Structure 1
Amino acid sequence: MPIEWKLFADLAERTGDKHVTVDAAAGDTVGDALDALLAEHAELEGRVLDEEGDDLRSQINVLRNGTNVREEEGLETELEEGDELALFPPVSGG
């Protein structure tokens, strides 16, 4: 099933697109969809993952259908048909 990522701010600039679709299967997790996104767009890896490369940077937010996955099961949150994922970098106001 296709899963669409919405990318914001410099993340969209790095990929050249605000919408990226990746393939996911039933039972896949948000982490699996993130792995698929990073496999296609390695330029995001250093911006999104921590120094060890195995977890999200603390200031990066991943939303599934508008809800931060940290409020669910994090990257282990299971995907469902029609889910929409969003990746937000830190935002600063001024």
Structure 2
Amino acid sequence: MEWKLFANLAETVGDKHVTVDVGPGATFGEALDALLDAHPELRSEVLNDDDELRDHIRVLHNGDNPFVEGDGRETELAEGDELALFPPVSGG
């Protein structure tokens, strides 16, 4: 499963695309855990002290927020799904 990372999260990892070893039927939470296990340097940027997503971090599963449009960490993944992780974005 591939994650797309944006802005400083991509800079932290050194790549905009990161593949993690989870297959179809895995959950969004398992894919997130696999990403953070593979790149522990992201953990403090993405999770708070309670291991919950920081308020300013946005995640997408096929263009939707799995915590709004799905079952949160329990959202089931399928082959070809898109996962993305965003820091806060501002513009002007």
- SS of aligned partner of 1:66: coil
Q: Could you say which residue in structure 1 is the equivalent of 2:56? A: 59
Aligned twin of 1:69: 66
1:37-56 aligned at under 5 Å gives the runs 37-53=35-51, 55-56=52-53
State the distance in 2 between where 1:74 and 1:90 align. Answer: 19
CA-atom RMSD in angstroms: 1.1
Runs of 4+ in 1 over 4 A off after TM superposition: none
Q: Does 1:21 align with 2:19?
A: yes
Q: Structure 2 regions of 5+ residues with no counterpart? A: none
What is the TM-score normalised by the length of structure 2?
Answer: 0.92
2:85 maps to amino acid = L
- Greater share of residues in strand: 1
Shift of 1:69: 1.1
For residue 27 of structure 1, report the CA deviation from its aligned partner: 2.3
Count of residues in correspondence between the two structures: 91
- The whole-number CA distance in structure 2 between the counterparts of 1:26 and 1:65 is 14
Map Cα deviations across residues 21-67 of structure 1 (whole Å, 9 max, x no partner): 011133211110011001110010001001122x1112111101111
SS of 1:52 mapped into structure 2: coil
C-alpha displacement of 1:93: 2.3
Q: Which residue of 2 aligns with 1:83?
A: 81
Length-normalised TM-score, structure 1: 0.90
